[in-house]
Amino acid sequence: MCGIVGILGVKPVSQDLIDALRRLEYRGYDSAGIATVENGHLERRRAEGKLRNLEALVNDEPLKGLTGIGHTRWATHGKPTESNAHPHMSEKVSVVHNGIIENFRALRAALTAKGHVFHSDTDTEAVVHLITEELKAANDDPVAAVRAALGQLEGAFALGIVFAGHDDLMIAARSGSPLVIGHGDETMYLGSDAIALAPFTSEITYLDEGDMAVLRRSGAEIYDVSGARVERLAIKSQASSFLVDKGNHRHFMAKEIHEQPEVISHTLSHYIDMAEGRVDYPELGLDLADLSRITISACGTAYYAGLVGKYWIERYARVPVEIDVASELRYREAPLPKDGLALFISQSGETADTLAVLRYCKSQGQRIASIVNVRTSTIARESDVVLPTLAGPEIGVASTKAFTCQLAALAGLTLLLGRARGTISPELEQELVQGLLEVPRHMTEIMADEAQYERLAHDLSKARDVLYLGRGINYPLALEGALKLKEISYIHAEGYAAGELKHGPIALIDENVPVIVVAPEDELHDKTVSNVQEVAARGGQIILVSNGEEDAAGCDLMAHIKVPDAHPFTHPLLYAVPIQLIAYHTAVFMGTDVDQPRNLAKSVTVE
- Which residues bind to ligand M6R, rule: CB under 6 A? 299-302, 346-348, 351, 354, 397-399, 487, 600, 603-604
Give which of 550, 403, 396, 575 is closest to 487, Cα–Cα. Answer: 396
CA 270 to chain centre: 12
CB-nearer residue toward ligand M6R: 187 or 267: 267
Smallest distance from ligand M6R to CB 532, Å? 27
CB-nearer residue toward ligand M6R: 96 or 298: 298
- Decide: residue 208, CB within 10 A, 0-12 exposed, 13-18 middle, 19+ buried: middle
Give which of 558, 597, 591, 587 is closest to 457, Cα–Cα. Answer: 587
CB-nearer residue toward ligand M6R: 438 or 595: 595
Smallest distance from ligand M6R to CB 520, Å? 22
CB-nearer residue toward ligand M6R: 139 or 599: 599
Smallest distance from ligand M6R to CB 449, Å? 24
SS3 category, 143: helix
Cβ neighbors of 540 (< 8 A, separation 6 or more) are 509, 510, 511, 513, 514, 515
Dihedrals phi, psi of 223, to nearest 5 degrees: -120, 140
Strand partners, 223: 212, 229
CB-nearer residue toward ligand M6R: 397 or 447: 397
Strand partners, 198: none
Smallest distance from ligand M6R to CB 351, Å? 3
- State the residue number with the nearest CB to ligand M6R: 300
Smallest distance from ligand M6R to CB 577, Å? 15
Task: Please report, to the nearest 10 degrees, the dihedral formed by the alpha carbons of residues 141, 142, 144, 145 taken in order.
Answer: 110
Task: Please report, to the nearest 10 degrees, the dihedral formed by the alpha carbons of residues 134, 135, 139, 143 taken in order.
Answer: 100
| Alpha helices by DSSP H, 1-122 | 14-22, 51-60, 104-113
- Decide: residue 100, CB within 10 A, 0-12 exposed, 13-18 middle, 19+ buried: buried
Catalytic residues: 2, 602
CB of 405 closer than 8 Å to CB of 389: yes
CB-nearer residue toward ligand M6R: 98 or 373: 373
Write the single-letter amino acid at 264: I
Smallest distance from ligand M6R to CB 130, Å? 40
Smallest distance from ligand M6R to CB 488, Å? 8
CB-nearer residue toward ligand M6R: 192 or 301: 301
SS3 category, 479: helix
